[in-house]
Amino acid sequence: MTRIGAAGRCRAACAWLVAAALAWCGAGTNSGCARTAPADGGSGVEQPDDTQVESSLLYVLQPEELTTEELVAAAFEWLVLEPSRNGLPSGELAAGEITDLRTGGPCGGKVVLAYLSIGEAESYRSYFDPEWLDDDGAPIAGVAPAWLGPANPDFPGDFKVRYWDPGWQSLILGTPDGSEATPLDRILNAGFDGVYLDIVDAYDFWSSAEGGNELTRREARERMIAWVGAIAAYARQTRGAPEFLVFPQNAADILADDDGGFDVLTEEYLAAVDGIGIEDLFYDETSAQPDDETQYVLEYLREFGRRGKTVLVTDYVLAGDAASEGNTLRAQEFYQRVRAEGFVPYAAQSDRDLDEVVTLSRPEWPVSQPPEACLDPRSGG
C-alpha cells in the first residue's frame, strides 16, 4: 500500500481507485458512447454496434500526482479516490470536483468511491494525536486511546485498531446531520457514491498470534462484519443515502465460518456490501501466484459474483517498459483470466506506487486498458 508522502505496497491508503478509460467516445461528448452494463458489473455485453464493451478499472493512490482535470478527461467507469490530497480536511476535494469527476469527460457516468481505512489508524489523519506515542513511535499505555493497537511494521505511521471499540467507531461514523465532520460524514457531504473500505483483514490480525489472540476468529469476524454493516447503515439510513455503495478491499474469506462454510454472518455481510476489491489475485507483482492460493481466493470471489456483486481486481504485473514482451504476456493472461471470471481488471505497475493512469493502447498490446468504448456501470442494474 502506498501512503500519502510514502512509497510502498498498495492496499489503498491515499487511495484513488477504480476504472478509467482514456478513449474518446463521440469526440468528447456522450454521443456514440455505448451505455449498457452487465447486471453483475463484470464482463461486457454485446452492444448495438456489435462491439464488446468491458468495464475498466483504475487504481491511483497518490492524488497529489494527478490533477482533477486529468481524471475528468478520462473516459472511465469506476473511480476510487482518496478524498484528500494530503490526508487532512484541508486537502479534501470539494463537492463540485466530485460532481465534475462523475459527470465530466467524454463519456461521464462514473461511479466515484472514497477510500476509507476502517481497520488501521493513519497518523497523518486529523483524528490522530501525536501525543499518544512515545519517542519510539509506540502507543503510550494510559495516554493513547484503548482502541489504538501496535504499529504496522510494514507501513510506518499506521497502527492497528480495535475496530470494534465504540471510541474508534465514533471517530469514523459521525452524527445524523454531519455536523461533526468525521471521515464518513465528510465523504457523504462531498457527494461520493460510496466508500472503498481498507484493512478489513484486520479481523485476521486480532485473532492471530501476532495480535495476541485477543479475539477468536469467530469473534473477530463477527465484529468486523458488524462494523461494515454499521457503516452501511449509517450512510444509507441515518444519513438518508439509500444507494450509497460499500466496497471492502481484500479479506474475501471473511465470508466463511471457521469450518469454511457459509452462515448467517455470510448473509449479513453480503447484504451490506455492493462488491469487493481484490489485489494480487493471479500475480504477486510479476510472479504468478501459486495456483492453490489463487483458487482459494477465487472460491469466495465467485460467491460475490453469484450474488450480483462487482469484483474489482488489481494485479501489479507491469515492470519497466510497458511495451516489453514480458509485460505484454502477463497483461494478456491477467486480462483473460479476470474477464473469464466476469470481474473487472486493472493491470498496474509492479512498483505499487499507483501514482499514474496506466494505459495499454499501443498496437502491439493484445488488450486495451481502458476499453475503446464507454460503459455506464450503473445502467445495467
pLDDT in tens, 83-142: 888 888 888 889 999 999 888 877 677 888 999 999 999 999 989 999 999 999 999 999
Q: How much is the average pLDDT of 231-260?
A: 97
Query: Comparing 151 with 177, which gets the higher pLDDT?
Result: 151
Q: Looking at the structure, give the CATH architecture of the domain made up of residues 45-349.
A: Alpha-Beta Barrel (3.20)
Is the pLDDT reported for residue 48 higher than 80?
no
Residue 51 has pLDDT above 50, yes or no: no
Q: How confident is the model at residue 17 (pLDDT cuts 50, 70, 90)?
A: very low
∠ at Cα 174 (165, 226), nearest 5°?
45
Per cent of the chain over pLDDT 90 is 57
Per-residue pLDDT at 240 exceeds 90: yes
- Would you list the domain boundaries of the chain? 45-349
pLDDT for the residue 61: 66
pLDDT greater at residue 104 or residue 160: 160
What's residue 121's pLDDT?
Answer: 97
Q: What is the phi-psi region of residue 94: left when phi exceeds 0, alpha when psi lies from -120 to 50, beta otherwise?
A: beta
**Which band of pLDDT confidence, cut at 50, 70 and 90, is reported for residue 283?**
very high
Give the pLDDT of residue 87: 80
Pairing, β 287-288 against β 283-284: antiparallel
pLDDT of 47? 27
Rounded Cα gap, residues 282 and 381, in angstroms: 28
d(CA 276, CA 228): 12
The whole-number average pLDDT for the span 263-275 is: 98
Of 18, 100, 103, 7, the C-alpha closest to 59 is 18
Q: What are phi and psi of 177, to 5 degrees?
A: -95, 0
Of 51 and 145, the one with more pLDDT? 145
> Residue 183: enclosing H or E segment and its boundaries?
helix 183-190
Residue 350 pLDDT: 94
Average pLDDT over residues 55-82: 77
Determine the angle formed by the axes of helices 264-272 and 217-233, rounding to 10 degrees.
Answer: 30
Q: What is the pLDDT of residue 192?
A: 94
Confidence of residue 148 (pLDDT cuts 50, 70, 90): very high
Q: What share of the chain is helix, strand, coil (3-state, %, to 5)?
A: 30, 20, 55
Query: pLDDT at position 366, please?
Result: 78
Give 80's pLDDT tier (boundaries 50, 70, 90). Answer: confident
Asked if pLDDT for residue 376 goes beyond 80, the answer is: no
Longest Cα–Cα distance in the chain: 66
Q: What is the pTM of this model?
A: 0.83
For the chain, give the mean pLDDT. Answer: 82
282 pLDDT band, cuts 50/70/90, is very high
pLDDT at 5 over 80: no
Per-residue pLDDT, 68: 83
Of 214 and 90, the one with more pLDDT: 214
Q: Is residue 32 over pLDDT 70? A: no
The yes-or-no verdict on residue 284 having pLDDT over 50 is: yes
Q: What is the pLDDT of residue 136?
A: 93
Could you report the per-residue pLDDT of 175-212, keeping only the tens digit for each?
Answer: 776 666 799 999 999 999 999 999 999 999 999 999 99
Per-residue pLDDT at 41: 40
Burial 103-113 (b: 16+ CB within 10 A, else e): ebbbbbbbbbb
What pLDDT was estimated at residue 231?
Answer: 98
Q: What is the pLDDT of residue 24?
A: 24
**pLDDT computed for residue 60 by the predictor:** 67
Left (φ > 0), alpha (ψ -120 to 50) or beta: where does 234 sit?
A: alpha
**What's the pLDDT tens digit per position in 305-353?**
999 999 999 999 999 877 788 998 999 999 999 999 999 888 889 998 8
